[in-house]
Structure 1
Amino acid sequence: MSKLEEMKISNHNLSELEKDLALNGEVESTEDIVTEELAIHFGPQHPSAHGVFHAIFHVKGEVVTKIEPDIGYLHRCFEKIAENRTYTQFIPYTDRMDYVASMTNNWAYCMAVEKLAGIEVPERAEYIRVIVGELQRIASHLVFLSTAGSEAGALTPFVYFFDEREGILTLYEKICGARLTYNYIRIGGVRADAPEGWLDDTLAFVTRLKKRMYDYDRLVLGNYIFKKRFIGVAPFSAEQALDWGLTGPPLRSTGVSYDVRRSDPYSVYPRLEFDVVVKYKGDNYDRACIRSDEIKQSIRIIEQAIEQIPEGPVKADGIAKVFKPAAGEGYGHVESPKGDLGFYVVSDGTTKPYRVKIQGPSFGNLQALPAMSEGTYIGDVVLTLGTLDPVFGEVDR
Structure 2
Amino acid sequence: MTTSRIIQYEYAPGHFRASEPNLHQPDTLGDGEMILSMGPQHPSTHGVLKLEVVTDGEIIVDVVPHVGYLHRCFEKHAESLPFNQTIPFVDRLDYLAAMNCEHAFVMGVERMLGIQNDIPKRTEYIRVLVAELNRIAAHFVAIGTYALDIGAYTPFLWLMRDREHILRLMEWLNGARMLYNYIWVGGLFYDLPVGFEERCREFVAYLRPKLTELRQLVIENEIFVKRTANVGVLPLPVAINYGCTGPVLRGSGLRYDLRRVDGYSVYPELEFDIPIGEGTMGTVGDCWDRNQVRVRECHESLRIVDQCLDQLLGDHRRTRDYDPQAVIPKKIRPKAMDFYARAESAKGELGFFFRTDGKSDVPVRCRCRSCCFHNLSVIGEISKGAMLADLVAIIGSIDLVMGEVDR
Query: Is the partner of 1:70 in helix, strand or coil?
Result: strand
Task: Write the distance in 2 (CA, Å) between the matches of 1:351 and 1:50.
Answer: 33
Give the corresponding residue for 1:236: 234
Alignment of 1:139-218 (within 5 A): 139-218=137-216
One of 330, 333, 336 as aligned partner of 1:327: 336
Corresponding residue pairs, total: 363
Give the corresponding residue for 2:346: 337
Task: Write the distance in 2 (CA, Å) between the matches of 1:180 and 1:134.
Answer: 14
Alignment of 1:19-168 (within 5 A): 36-47=32-43, 52-119=48-115, 120-168=118-166
One of 369, 384, 389 as aligned partner of 1:359: 369
AA matched with 1:137: R
Query: Is the partner of 1:245 in helix, strand or coil?
Result: coil
Structure 1 stretch displaced more, 51-60 or 169-178? 51-60
What percent of counterpart residues are identical? 42
With over 3 angstroms needed to count, the CA separation of the structure-2 counterparts of 1:117 and 1:370, relative to structure 1, is same
Alpha-carbon deviation of 1:316? 3.9
Q: Deviations over 1:199-226 (max 9, x none)?
A: 1111111221011111111011121111
Task: Write the distance in 2 (CA, Å) between the matches of 1:51 and 1:163.
Answer: 26
Give the corresponding residue for 1:8: none
AA matched with 1:300: R
Task: Write the distance in 2 (CA, Å) between the matches of 1:354 and 1:316.
Answer: 27
Q: Is the 8 A contact 1:257 1:278 kept in 2?
A: yes
Task: Write the distance in 2 (CA, Å) between the matches of 1:332 and 1:315.
Answer: 22
1:304 correspondence with 2:304: no
Q: Is the 8 A contact 1:49 1:382 kept in 2?
A: no
Q: Is the 8 A contact 2:91 2:102 kept in 1?
A: yes
AA matched with 2:242: W
Stretches of 4+ moved more than 6 A in 1?
none
Q: Deviations over 1:82-137 (max 9, x none)?
A: 11011111110001111111111111111111011112321111000000000011
Q: Deviations over 1:324-378 (max 9, x none)?
A: 2232243221111100111112221202111111111101111100001111011
Task: Write the distance in 1 (CA, Å) between the matches of 2:72 and 2:261.
Answer: 31
Q: Is the 8 A contact 1:43 1:49 kept in 2?
A: no
Q: Is the 8 A contact 2:39 2:49 kept in 1?
A: yes
1:382 correspondence with 2:392: yes
Structure 1 stretch displaced more, 76-85 or 92-101? 76-85
Alpha-carbon deviation of 1:318? 5.3
One of 221, 224, 249 as aligned partner of 1:223: 221
Task: Write the distance in 1 (CA, Å) between the matches of 2:255 and 2:165.
Answer: 30
TM-score, normalised with respect to structure 2: 0.86
Unmatched runs of 5 consecutive residues or more in structure 1: 1-33
Task: Write the distance in 2 (CA, Å) between the matches of 1:230 and 1:157.
Answer: 16
Task: Write the distance in 2 (CA, Å) between the matches of 1:333 and 1:45.
Answer: 33
Task: Write the distance in 1 (CA, Å) between the matches of 2:63 and 2:327.
Answer: 52
Give the corresponding residue for 2:10: none
With over 3 angstroms needed to count, the CA separation of the structure-2 counterparts of 1:230 and 1:109, relative to structure 1, is same
Q: Is the 8 A contact 2:187 2:328 kept in 1?
A: no
Alpha-carbon deviation of 1:72? 3.9
Task: Write the distance in 2 (CA, Å) between the matches of 1:362 and 1:229.
Answer: 23
Alpha-carbon deviation of 1:317? 2.8
Structure 1 stretch displaced more, 225-234 or 342-351? 342-351
Unmatched runs of 5 consecutive residues or more in structure 2: 1-29, 279-283
AA matched with 1:61: G
TM-score, normalised with respect to structure 1: 0.89
Q: Is the 8 A contact 2:124 2:265 kept in 1?
A: yes
Q: Is the 8 A contact 1:233 1:283 kept in 2?
A: yes
Give the corresponding residue for 2:383: 373
